Chain A
């Protein structure tokens, strides 16, 4: 028996030594829950954004640590309100070796609009794009659209020549517009090139040594973006040093446990919030005083405690109003919302519906278990002011179908919403403009002429000051009519090993204010093993 044990131990040790070669230095390993979509015209969620921001480049980039946008593939731009003309850099090549030209920019826009997927709706306002010179491109808009420059962070530039050489079967001259090719291969100018893409497992990328900007030597040579890892697996992998950065979807308890064991916590904030959206067409929430009563009853402080990961880091910060702190028109950080039960009772008394007959339906999205905790919290808050409620779990697919009709939409819909370009227009217009009711973002079914007016002003004004003023007034109006309970400003948190440095995810002075852009690998540093 002893001989057997000894033999097994020696065999196992030998096998371990034989089979586990040292990991190559400079490899960054991270994970995302959803499979990353490589085709940049279809990119919409977080994993897609990480791939897009590393494999492709855009004409402009958000300014790190501040408002506005800076030239990136573009050298400069000018605008007369209805058209924007960009002059491109002349030192940029695609990963294929093809030089970047204005034709590539035009092609990228036309391709995105033709496919009609991802965030292509952002460019619905663009009537045409034309290459007026080899390195000059003009976008003609159908109407003034102030957030246009911000939208360009979602227009990755693809290699026209490469795509044309790899068109797949499809209707018309352009076939499949290169969808099959770009779903499995890179076709950009980005700092990282795709080595392999297995949707069930991982996407492997390597540093593009010919990138037009300098990349730090310490930036990862190889990146492995893994998909669909379980929380328990990620926790074990990070603890054993086999993984570097978790996704933001780890339960707070797991994040906390990793932090206690020495993991860093990276954060990304300023682009979205957690909302409890009230169906303003459904009694009793068609009465503004009822909505105000519910808003005042919500326990904002407890909500913040529920998402705390450590004493210093939380998955959110207190809400100050309808617009998250850091965006145009946001209230001062000191104006945090607090629970006011006396105020809630006063509003309830002024409400035209009898509180005794109310039965508020609080829904939560089945795929986001955290929302159940908020549903339970809100139910107990409502009980404190004598309002009956019931909780309903809705799978996302069912929820998105139900909200298409106001009568099927629950009283309360809990949602996390982000501004996809970092501009408040992409956060608020889809939620509150009366022309966009009945989507997953707008279960409020709000129809308010003044809100429409301020949203249009924010969209059309060209001067930054004028936009900021429009959104400030909008913020005040939204607080007054209370279509939504503004739960907290959301902050994405990622657990990371101590071998990674990511200033864009750890220092506000380097933050981009755009979801996923903090994962620009060229700006990260990884210690060698």
Chain B
């Protein structure tokens, strides 16, 4: 079996164990959060009988182990139960809200890589000059302020004082786009509606940028630091001595070895954005899964909490798996160490 496939199989096995652990952990934690989910769901005016009836219907009076058994049996049938927050099947909610968050996070990821890495490269190549200093200060600023601060500031600057971007939602109400993938940037293109695509792009830009700012700063700083270290290596000196162009040295000999640690951090940042997205989603009224996750936690909507956490965990694991594979692809020593480990 090729080394990469072995790596993949091993990581998939570990991921399944992690998911099972997460499900047990979140199942337990959700049940010790203060408050009665039935009471919260039915509202303050519900009578004791109404609350008792709903508790019975939700098996909340059974021992936790029995409740977990019900949960696993339903999960294996693809049923995550009904959300007490939206009164709809949790699977339907996730199917509706997950694409919005994934689209936002993926677009933010593109911005993070597309802006952060070039900035880091440029900063390293301009070491000690004013562009380097400027990029380092801006990167530090990006890393040190949380994404919701950027969200509010960007909204004020580019939607309120200079109204060039829309403030809320994913697309202007008047566009009626058939949802195929749930990713509006793709669905608008599939519908052949250029105006709607531009509109969706304008809607996603500010929230995605707010979400990505910290990651951009992180990627730029890390790439710069790694490249600066690489620039001091003898083989770079040799390349310079041979008279290779600076661009070729940067892209081919300095950047590739510096990419591996950056890629690890980018993978972690990408996963962290899934969790951080709720603040940005709240500010820009982005109808995504992160915002849904927070809403259901506040209402102690047990089925929805577990469903959301499982999906976010699964996405986290998938992203990490992809990053691991990329790193293995870039660095043969890791592939070989897997073989050795076997």
- Output the nearest chain A residue to B299 by Cβ-Cβ distance: A397
Known: A23-B173, A224-B173. Contact between A232 and B45, CB under 8 A?
A: no
- B283 near A232: Cβ-Cβ < 8 Å: yes
User: Closest CB-CB distance, A385 to chain B, in whole Å?
Assistant: 32
A117 to B165, CA, bound (A): 43
| Selected contact of A229 from candidates B40, B93, B202, B285, CB within 8 Å | B285
- Output the nearest chain A residue to B49 by Cβ-Cβ distance: A116
Q: Is B163 an interface residue (CB 8 A)?
A: yes
- A117 near B172: Cβ-Cβ < 8 Å: no
Contact residues, A403-440 vs B (CB, 8 A): 420, 440
Q: Which residues of A contact B284 (CB under 8 A)?
A: 233
Contact residues, A232-247 vs B (CB, 8 A): 232-233, 236-237, 239-240, 242
Q: Is A42 an interface residue (CB 8 A)?
A: yes
User: Closest CB-CB distance, B46 to chain A, in whole Å?
Assistant: 7
Q: Which residues of A contact B35 (CB under 8 A)?
A: 395-398, 400-401
Q: Is A6 an interface residue (CB 8 A)?
A: no
- Output the nearest chain A residue to B44 by Cβ-Cβ distance: A440
- B34 near A116: Cβ-Cβ < 8 Å: no
Q: Which residues of A contact B164 (CB under 8 A)?
A: 12, 16
Q: Which residues of B contact A24 (CB under 8 A)?
A: 174
Q: Is A172 an interface residue (CB 8 A)?
A: no
Contact residues, B84-106 vs A (CB, 8 A): 85-88, 93, 96-97
Q: Which residues of B contact A116 (CB under 8 A)?
A: 47, 49-50, 53
| Selected contact of A230 from candidates B96, B160, B201, B283, CB within 8 Å | B283
A/B pair count, beta carbons within 8 Å:
140
- B96 near A198: Cβ-Cβ < 8 Å: yes
Q: Which residues of B contact A201 (CB under 8 A)?
A: 169, 285, 287
A240 to B161, CA, bound (A): 9
A27 to B174, CA, bound (A): 11
Q: Is B24 an interface residue (CB 8 A)?
A: no
Known: A199-B88, A200-B86, A226-B285. Contact between A232 and B202, CB under 8 A?
A: no
Q: Is B36 an interface residue (CB 8 A)?
A: yes
- B167 near A233: Cβ-Cβ < 8 Å: yes
**Digit string of A1-17 for contact with B (CB within 8 Å is 1, else 0)?**
00000000000100110
Known: A228-B291, A233-B283. Contact between A240 and B199, CB under 8 A?
A: no
- B87 near A118: Cβ-Cβ < 8 Å: no
Q: Is B19 an interface residue (CB 8 A)?
A: no
A183 to B84, CA, bound (A): 12
Q: Is B155 an interface residue (CB 8 A)?
A: yes
Q: Which residues of B contact A398 (CB under 8 A)?
A: 34-35
A132 to B198, CA, bound (A): 61
- A179 near B283: Cβ-Cβ < 8 Å: no
Q: Which residues of B contact A226 (CB under 8 A)?
A: 168, 285
A117 to B40, CA, bound (A): 12
- A183 near B88: Cβ-Cβ < 8 Å: yes
| Selected contact of B295 from candidates A21, A121, A228, A232, CB within 8 Å | A228
Known: A23-B173, A200-B287, A239-B160. Contact between A15 and B198, CB under 8 A?
A: yes
A124 to B284, CA, bound (A): 43
Q: Is A20 an interface residue (CB 8 A)?
A: yes
Q: Is B224 an interface residue (CB 8 A)?
A: no
A120 to B50, CA, bound (A): 9
- B45 near A236: Cβ-Cβ < 8 Å: no
Q: Is A37 an interface residue (CB 8 A)?
A: yes
Q: Which residues of A contact B292 (CB under 8 A)?
A: 200
A23 to B174, CA, bound (A): 7
A239 to B156, CA, bound (A): 11
Q: Which residues of A contact B236 (CB under 8 A)?
A: none
A514 to B135, CA, bound (A): 58
| Selected contact of B195 from candidates A19, A35, A119, A367, CB within 8 Å | A19
User: Closest CB-CB distance, B304 to chain A, in whole Å?
Assistant: 11
- B156 near A236: Cβ-Cβ < 8 Å: yes
- Output the nearest chain B residue to A122 by Cβ-Cβ distance: B45
Q: Which residues of B contact A420 (CB under 8 A)?
A: 45
Q: Is B282 an interface residue (CB 8 A)?
A: yes
Q: Is B33 an interface residue (CB 8 A)?
A: yes
A18 to B193, CA, bound (A): 11
- A229 near B87: Cβ-Cβ < 8 Å: no
Q: Which residues of B contact A401 (CB under 8 A)?
A: 34-36, 39
Q: Is A441 an interface residue (CB 8 A)?
A: yes
- Output the nearest chain B residue to A119 by Cβ-Cβ distance: B45
Q: Is A515 an interface residue (CB 8 A)?
A: no
**Digit string of B144-178 for contact with A (CB within 8 Å is 1, else 0)?**
00000000100110011001101111001111000
Q: Is B137 an interface residue (CB 8 A)?
A: no
Q: Is B326 an interface residue (CB 8 A)?
A: no
A15 to B195, CA, bound (A): 8
User: Closest CB-CB distance, B310 to chain A, in whole Å?
Assistant: 18
Q: Is B300 an interface residue (CB 8 A)?
A: yes
Contact residues, B65-97 vs A (CB, 8 A): 85-88, 93, 96-97
User: Closest CB-CB distance, B171 to chain A, in whole Å?
Assistant: 9
User: Closest CB-CB distance, B176 to chain A, in whole Å?
Assistant: 10
A229 to B50, CA, bound (A): 31
Contact residues, A108-142 vs B (CB, 8 A): 116-121, 124
Q: Which residues of B contact A230 (CB under 8 A)?
A: 282-283, 285
A400 to B39, CA, bound (A): 8
Q: Is A44 an interface residue (CB 8 A)?
A: yes
Q: Is B43 an interface residue (CB 8 A)?
A: yes
Q: Is A184 an interface residue (CB 8 A)?
A: yes
| Selected contact of B159 from candidates A12, A35, A236, A441, CB within 8 Å | A236
- A183 near B87: Cβ-Cβ < 8 Å: yes
| Selected contact of B199 from candidates A20, A118, A179, A224, CB within 8 Å | A20
- Output the nearest chain B residue to A14 by Cβ-Cβ distance: B198
| Selected contact of B160 from candidates A120, A200, A229, A236, CB within 8 Å | A236
- A441 near B172: Cβ-Cβ < 8 Å: no
Contact residues, B24-58 vs A (CB, 8 A): 33-36, 39-40, 42-47, 49-50, 53
- B85 near A35: Cβ-Cβ < 8 Å: yes
Contact residues, B282-317 vs A (CB, 8 A): 282-285, 287-288, 291-292, 295, 298, 300
A498 to B60, CA, bound (A): 49
Q: Which residues of B contact A45 (CB under 8 A)?
A: 43
- Output the nearest chain B residue to A13 by Cβ-Cβ distance: B164
Q: Which residues of A contact B36 (CB under 8 A)?
A: 397, 400-401
A397 to B292, CA, bound (A): 19
| Selected contact of A19 from candidates B50, B86, B202, CB within 8 Å | B202
Q: Which residues of A contact B39 (CB under 8 A)?
A: 397, 400-401
Q: Which residues of A contact B173 (CB under 8 A)?
A: 23, 27, 224
Residues of A within 8 A of B (CB): 12, 15-16, 18-21, 23-24, 27, 35, 37, 39, 42, 44-45, 116-121, 124, 179, 183-184, 198-201, 224, 226, 228-230, 232-233, 236-237, 239-240, 242, 367, 395-398, 400-401, 420, 440-441
Identify 16 new A-B residue pairs, CB closer than 8 A, beyond the known A37-B87, A397-B39: A19-B202, A24-B174, A39-B87, A44-B45, A116-B49, A198-B96, A200-B93, A228-B291, A232-B152, A236-B159, A236-B160, A237-B167, A240-B160, A397-B36, A397-B40, A400-B44
Q: Provide a sorted-by-A list of 10 A–B residue pairs whose CB atoms are within 8 angstroms.
A: A15-B198, A15-B201, A35-B295, A116-B53, A117-B42, A118-B46, A232-B283, A233-B283, A236-B159, A395-B34
